[in-house]
Amino acid sequence: MTLRVGIHPGNQSLFLFRHLADVPGVEWHTGSPEALLAAMSRGELDISGGGCVPLLRALASGSELIWLAGSPPRPAFAALLTPVDSPIVSLEDLPGRRVLIAAGSWHLRFLALAMTSIGARLADLQLLEGKGGMTRVQAAQADAWVASGAGLVAARAEGCWREVRLPHAQLAKAGWLGNRSLVYGRRQLLDERRAELQGFLRQLREHSHWVSQNLAQASACLAHAHPGGEPPALWQQALQALPWALEPITPAHGREMQMAIDVLARDGVLPRPLDIATCLADPALIF
């Protein structure tokens, strides 16, 4: 049988697997993370991936999905930026400010935990959703934005932006080690098609290692597909900061995610609390 896999450029591992590898027995589908998760909930897709917030929202809405694997934390892939002359220097300066984020992304988890680490809440920020962070901050339409990937590399090269100082020890205590790129699937796959699932994930893990040795090809692929328009050279710098690995999900991953779930449910990002331990794939069954 064919595995139906959903991809988008925001999940670099799956996207590059689709475009730079020959993967037999897979039917690929493209869409936004939310659209792909909706298709999975209807039984129209088997596997997809992305950041945690869309997955957690789907789980909280009753979708029968399971967290299969993920990348190590990727703290160097993103930063919170303001103009160099901004009065915002640290997280303590953020409450009451306008912060631009990507709609429905892991940025919500990052900011919710960041605010928790200083005794504040997500509601203490004026969140704006959309693209074009650099342009909108320059136009005084926002005070700060979460920059990532090649866009972050481009902003750093300009020299007129400052990274908001992050208290890493406090953030880790609150549950933030960095963004992970997740791979998830329909729960029935573990019972009905485990061998196919194992084969796919093992190939994906091998391909992630291949990407780490072939960043020029990966960068050209992402530059062509990504809506930001940054050139391959900037993407290559961004990808060099990523840990190219696929990890099985352990109880430690679950505890880290549960801390985020509790805060996101408290702050209204999730419609209800979740017990993530019931949504973790046993690594012994897959890897």
Q: Which pLDDT score is estimated for 282?
A: 87
Give residue-wise pLDDT tens across range 187-218. 998 889 999 999 999 999 999 999 999 999 99
The CATH superfamily assigned to 3-72+180-285 is: Periplasmic binding protein-like II (3.40.190.10)
Cα–Cα distance measured from residue 82 to residue 240, given in angstroms and rounded to the nearest whole number: 24
Question: What is the per-residue DSSP string for 87-153?
Answer: S--BGGG-TTSEEEE-TTSTHHHHHHHHHHHTT--GGGSEEEE-S-HHHHHHTTS-SEEEEEHHHHH
Residue 104 pLDDT grade (very low, low, confident, very high; cuts 50, 70, 90): confident
Give me the mean pLDDT over the 235-252 stretch.
94
User: Rounded mean pLDDT of 242-248?
Assistant: 93
* 3-72+180-285 matches 75-174 in fold: yes
**CATH number listed for the domain at residues 75-174:** 3.40.190.10
Residue ranges per structural domain of the chain: 3-72+180-285, 75-174
Of 18, 10, 16, nearest in space to 149 by CA: 10
pLDDT tens readout for residues 21-73: 999 999 999 999 999 999 999 999 999 999 999 999 999 999 999 999 999 99
Averaged over 252-266, what is the pLDDT? 96
Q: pLDDT (tens digit, 9 = 90+) per residue, 68-89? A: 999 999 988 889 999 999 999 9
Question: What is this structure's pTM?
Answer: 0.94
Q: What is the pLDDT of residues 107-161, one digit of tens each?
A: 999 999 999 999 999 999 999 998 888 889 989 999 999 999 999 999 999 989 9
